Amino acid sequence: MAARNSSARRRSARSQRPSSAGSRNVAIAVFVGAAALICLCAALVSGLEVFRATVSINLGPTAPAQQQDPRSATLTVAYSPEKAGLMRDLADRFNAQRLRTADRQLMQVRLVEMAPDLMVERALANPEFQAMAPDSGLWLDQLDRRWLAQLQVEAGTIPPSLVGESVRFAVSPVVIAMWEDVARGLGWPEQPIGWQTIQQRAAADVNFRWSHPSTSQASGLLATLAEFYAGAGKTRGLTVEDVTAPSTLEYVTAIERTVRFYGEGEAAIMERLRNERSRFLDAFVVQEHLVVAYNRALAAGRNRLVAVYPAEGTLWADHPLALLELPTLTDNQRRTFAAFRDYVLSPEAQRLVLEAGFRPADLSLSLEGSAISPQYGADPAQPQTTLQIPGPAVVEVVQNAWQYTKRKTNIFLVVDTSGSMEGEKLEAARAALRDFLSQIKNDEERVGLVEFASAVHHVEELAPLGENRSRLEAAIEAMYASGSTALLDGVQTAYRRLQRLGDAERINAIVVMTDGRENSSTVSLARLVREIEQGNQTGVPVVIFAVAFGEDADYQVLRAIAEASGGQVRTGDLETIRQLYRLLSTYF
């Protein structure tokens, strides 16, 4: 087999990243205003299993965990959801060539759709794929860092890298997508719009809603890096000292406290826009190519999106294709990777990249006449300022510091413990709730719990997780199933508590789950919907995420409750409910 260390070629594919200043164990004291906040930045925030953002969870096709045939030339590539159409097109065209190895094995590329942070998790433990195409080379850096930590090699030993050869085949700048009328109200295109513009508008208008994904998604992490750059007043060379400076943290905290909610990624936002045609957000962070794709599919006369390139500068998602140096990798799979690598960089494939709304890696291709144009909400002359990707150690500190600068939450978990939940369903619900709590790292977040069956029968009041985490965990373990389904009473109980609290500084949310149909509440659906709509207008906004657990859940009732709050409804089953709750945890 070929040599495994291709670090030089990997570095060339990640051209925006400077050389690292070296690994450091960071212990920092962070001061915001006059308050002291101690943040131990010792470990990468990880384990958030994020799945494709549709109304239901779709895990996509899976490949065998191990390749049994040592001659196999079938290469499985995990790719991030925002480029699904492009990846399918590239793989189909490559496979249509029916290339063969020297021993006559058919070279084929098989695809599996997966969130990038989940790629990293699975790549560390016998993955079903041999190559990965995340939305950013940042994930390759994180994978290698975690791989080296996992190896625990002896001092003086040069360990092998898990990430082998990688190439960048498409790029897309991270932008703030806005409805055109919203952007014009902020002075676009004549006036530059930046992070402070968004912050000032949101602070002045409580009805202005904007969002960016959590830092478990590339666009969310790159946007957060851009905010830290802006706070430090720099465009390159961001350091740990810059990130942890009180003035920088004040700046980022002021911006983050105006976020409507976070989320699992761009694909979730775009799917919701396509399905609902609603304006649940005025502005949101995505890659430029998604703005282009949305506008190309837009019906005539509808309000389009425009890409706003932050005045302080932005970063690019660089879309690498990387081989994993796995023990099970066959020589023929390596040959298939090399052939697919050459294909995605070929003139034919680079034109497909451009047609899909991405900017090509081949800089000789002109953007003139392409979809990257004002007609589709993009500006080929932008961004004017490109920020430099900082070293991995700085990225890690930013991810950890974000947990303290991000907008805090008040969350009520509303759980169905009626008789139909008995057995496997209740066990799955317990596991999902435990996972949800475990993903919320900051003990300053407030979480409460409402259990309902024939009536609301148990409430754990809202409190910081530092105070009530153990009580919540004990309540989850003590759950038992019996009785009917007073779904509406359960939601109303949580909603009224949040309204009485009246905390406009935090994200106020309800995550409600049921497996059955409403049959026991004292409040009607119509009355509850009116209460939510009126309360969100005159009180504090409360967003409701409804989870329909199993085939018997009343999807229509859940949708009415969620839509009244500007929230959404998802579906899960015994196999996906834990992943669904982990996904929802990224909103907070």
DSSP per residue, 374-443:
GGGT--TT--S-BPPPPPHHHHHHHHHHHHHHSPPEEEEEEEE-SGGGTTHHHHHHHHHHHHHHHH---T
In this structure, are residues 252 and 195 in contact, taking their beta carbons and an 8 Å threshold? no
CA distance 220 to 238: 17
Write down the pLDDT at residue 204: 94
Question: Chain centroid to CA 81: how far?
Answer: 10
Write down the pLDDT at residue 37: 33
Write down the pLDDT at residue 155: 67
Is residue 496 included in any domain, yes or no?
A: yes
> Same domain for 68 and 196?
no
Instruction: Please enumerate in sequence order all residues whose Cβ is within 8 A of that of 12, keeping only pairs 6 or more positions apart, or say none.
Output: none
In this structure, are residues 313 and 383 in contact, taking their beta carbons and an 8 Å threshold? yes
CA distance 373 to 549: 43
Is residue 1 included in any domain, yes or no?
A: no
CA distance 223 to 211: 11
> Same domain for 90 and 231?
no
pLDDT at 229 exceeding the cut of 50: yes
Is residue 13 included in any domain, yes or no?
A: no
pLDDT at 80 exceeding the cut of 70: yes
How do residues 338-363 score in pLDDT, each as one tens digit?
A: 999 999 999 999 999 999 999 999 98
61: helix, strand or coil: coil
Is residue 274 included in any domain, yes or no?
A: yes
Q: What is the mean pLDDT of residues 44-72?
A: 44
Is residue 237 included in any domain, yes or no?
A: yes
> Same domain for 239 and 274?
yes
CA distance 536 to 531: 8
Write down the pLDDT at residue 264: 86
> Same domain for 77 and 218?
no
More confident residue, 264 or 96: 96
At 549, list the tokens.
């657990």
pTM of the full structure: 0.84
Structural domains counted in the chain: 3
Question: Which CATH number fits the domain that encloses residue 562?
Answer: 3.40.50.410
> Same domain for 130 and 65?
yes
Is residue 24 included in any domain, yes or no?
A: no
Q: What is the mean pLDDT of residues 53-70?
A: 45
Is residue 34 included in any domain, yes or no?
A: no
Is residue 2 included in any domain, yes or no?
A: no
pLDDT at 228 exceeding the cut of 80: yes
CA distance 362 to 350: 7
> Same domain for 205 and 311?
yes
Q: What is the mean pLDDT of residues 560-571?
A: 95
pLDDT at 54 exceeding the cut of 60: no
How do residues 164-178 score in pLDDT, each as one tens digit?
A: 999 999 999 999 999
Rounded to the nearest integer, the mean pLDDT of the chain is 88
Q: What is the greatest pairwise CA distance in the chain? A: 73
Write down the pLDDT at residue 207: 87
> Same domain for 559 and 429?
yes
Write down the pLDDT at residue 554: 93
> Same domain for 299 and 353?
no
> Same domain for 362 and 262?
no
Question: Which CATH number fits the domain that encloses residue 336?
Answer: 3.40.190.10
Domain of residue 287: give its range: 173-315+389-404
> Same domain for 340 and 460?
no
> Same domain for 457 and 489?
yes
Is the C-alpha dihedral spanning 478, 484, 485, 486 positive or negative?
negative
> Same domain for 81 and 117?
yes
Instruction: Please classify residue 464 by burial: count the beta carbons closer than 10 Å to its beta carbon, then call 0-12 exposed, 13-18 middle and 19+ buried.
Output: middle
How do residues 491-550 score in pLDDT, each as one tens digit?
A: 999 999 999 999 999 999 999 999 999 999 999 999 999 999 999 999 999 999 999 999
At 524, list the tokens.
């009607």
Write down the pLDDT at residue 59: 34
In this structure, are residues 276 and 426 in contact, taking their beta carbons and an 8 Å threshold? no
CA distance 515 to 94: 44
